[in-house]
Structure 1
């Protein structure tokens, strides 16, 4: 009995040490903030995937009323520019963009994120048995009424095979990354049923027929093309059969561009956004 009492007395100390170790582990999964004018950024880590990839997020927090831009910023703005060259033990890296929203004002529209965003990054180590050092230099812009250039630097040390760390912030934005979807009908996600040139308008444009699943909805469509392609805001019209027709004007194109053209369509909506890559036969523009 006398030997048991000292052990019982040590139990709270042991539990406290375990709690502090878990707290330290959580803290170790986040880099310090890197502040700029009206914005700051940091890196956060999530658990390693089953295939050995490291999950990282670039978290950007902005002052009230400010926004930053998507990879395709719309009619004005600049997309973030990532520099990972200072990193070690990285064999591949994939930036996974959460679905953005569209902002309209008297000058036109931009596409991006308001207030805050976490951009998920998937990192493939060269040697999965060794730690990964993720080093980021980011040039980006934040905008209220005018755009302000911003810079940030952050680094994060990732141990191999860490699966017990959780990051609800990262996971919530991973759930906003569009899922790939092939053309055709789907039961549980948004579907692109038809896609092609819009013959019903004078100005060149695109026409999509979209099918949301039961209880789902279509909110917006973003179109991207390689080079100087630029597309207008999608005009959505609900149909009696439950489909939604999206009409999208071609605002700008590379000089002389026509014929088969690869495009990326990102559809914002519920239950989850989708992304589809299509090659459409685009007619020549007006001379």
Structure 2
């Protein structure tokens, strides 16, 4: 479970607009918006891209947010809930994998939240059941938006996808903003160089050294091996080697019975338009 949500308005989840998604068009590049002036959602066709697994259909889930409103990353931080993408009603879809663009850190009265503002596009990679048949993507999205208060909302969108063509620029740009996997200790301009356990503190702290010589502002996020871990958002501290930046977070917010020993953690580092994620195991 995620941390308690002190700022959430405890109301039933509502659809922002209640509107029925626009009629499906085989030629449409995007669906209609489902939402209101605070926030709205649509699907974007992304064309076809060839990668390591062969050609795959691409799409994007776009959330449009009014000024001052935010929504959440897959790990929301001290409060909030992550978006839940449901494509189970889609036609001729074997799998639909959602990618998460690099988020921002927001300091609020109730703590630090992790998420997005303005507009965000979540890239989706789609594998059809039958590559020779049309694909219709049907999205039911449960998410939350936050200004002074936070409210749960729902949205729906439908879009017919066509195979072929180059990836749509907006979806391609969103894919570039997704953190790249990077092994611990990699020789790269932005990389996690070392992870240390500080046993002299209670609760125990984890120190992470990140190489980013050309980036004055680096943000780091830490995640546990499952959703019931609620690790604090790392803070930047002094003591890093030259050319690196050091971050620290308490080994706190673990599920009952977990000690952290042998756990696989993930650190995401964001520096400007570059972002990486590094997975490591605690000794």
Q: Normalising by structure 2, what TM-score? A: 0.83
Q: Distance in 2 between matches of 1:182 and 1:240?
A: 19
Q: CA 1:26/1:186 → structure 2, altered by over 3 Å: closer, same or farther?
A: farther
Does 1:53 find its partner at 2:56? Answer: yes
Indicate the residue corresponding to 1:255 in structure 2. 256
Q: CA RMSD in A?
A: 2.1
Indicate the residue corresponding to 1:204 in structure 2. 204
Q: CA 1:115/1:172 → structure 2, altered by over 3 Å: closer, same or farther?
A: same
Does 1:264 find its partner at 2:259? Answer: no
Does 1:228 find its partner at 2:212? Answer: no
Indicate the residue corresponding to 2:86 in structure 1. 83
Indicate the residue corresponding to 1:132 in structure 2. 135
Asked whether the equivalents of residues 77 and 233 of structure 2 are also in contact (C-alpha less than 8 Å), the reply is: no
User: Displacement of 1:216 after TM fit?
Assistant: 3.8
Aligned length: 253
Shifted more, 243-252 versus 41-50: the winner is: 243-252
Q: CA 1:157/1:203 → structure 2, altered by over 3 Å: closer, same or farther?
A: same
Matches within 5 A, 1:156-235: 156-160=159-163, 162-164=164-166, 166-187=167-188, 189-212=189-212, 214-217=213-216, 219-225=218-224, 226-235=226-235
Q: Distance in 1 between matches of 2:280 and 2:96?
A: 24
User: Displacement of 1:186 after TM fit?
Assistant: 1.8
Determine which structure has greater relative contact order: mean sequence separation of CA pairs < 8 Å that are 6+ residues apart, divided by chain length.
Answer: 2
Indicate the residue corresponding to 2:65 in structure 1. 62
Asked whether the equivalents of residues 87 and 140 of structure 2 are also in contact (C-alpha less than 8 Å), the reply is: yes
Q: CA 1:45/1:81 → structure 2, altered by over 3 Å: closer, same or farther?
A: same
User: Displacement of 1:269 after TM fit?
Assistant: 1.3
Shifted more, 71-80 versus 225-234: the winner is: 225-234
Asked whether the equivalents of residues 96 and 177 of structure 1 are also in contact (C-alpha less than 8 Å), the reply is: yes
Does 1:35 find its partner at 2:42? Answer: no
Q: Normalising by structure 1, what TM-score? A: 0.82
User: Displacement of 1:185 after TM fit?
Assistant: 2.8
Asked whether the equivalents of residues 26 and 161 of structure 2 are also in contact (C-alpha less than 8 Å), the reply is: no
User: Displacement of 1:195 after TM fit?
Assistant: 1.4
Q: CA 1:271/1:146 → structure 2, altered by over 3 Å: closer, same or farther?
A: closer
State which structure, 1 or 2, has the greater radius of gyration over its C-alpha atoms.
Answer: 1
User: Displacement of 1:44 after TM fit?
Assistant: 0.4
Asked whether the equivalents of residues 217 and 270 of structure 1 are also in contact (C-alpha less than 8 Å), the reply is: no
Q: Secondary structure at the match of 1:231?
A: coil
User: Displacement of 1:79 after TM fit?
Assistant: 0.7
Shifted more, 226-235 versus 52-61: the winner is: 226-235
Asked whether the equivalents of residues 222 and 234 of structure 2 are also in contact (C-alpha less than 8 Å), the reply is: no
Matches within 5 A, 1:146-165: 146-160=149-163, 162-164=164-166
The runs of 4+ residues in structure 1 deviating greater than 6 Å are none
User: Displacement of 1:271 after TM fit?
Assistant: 5.6
Asked whether the equivalents of residues 39 and 150 of structure 1 are also in contact (C-alpha less than 8 Å), the reply is: no
Q: Distance in 1 between matches of 2:204 and 2:228?
A: 15
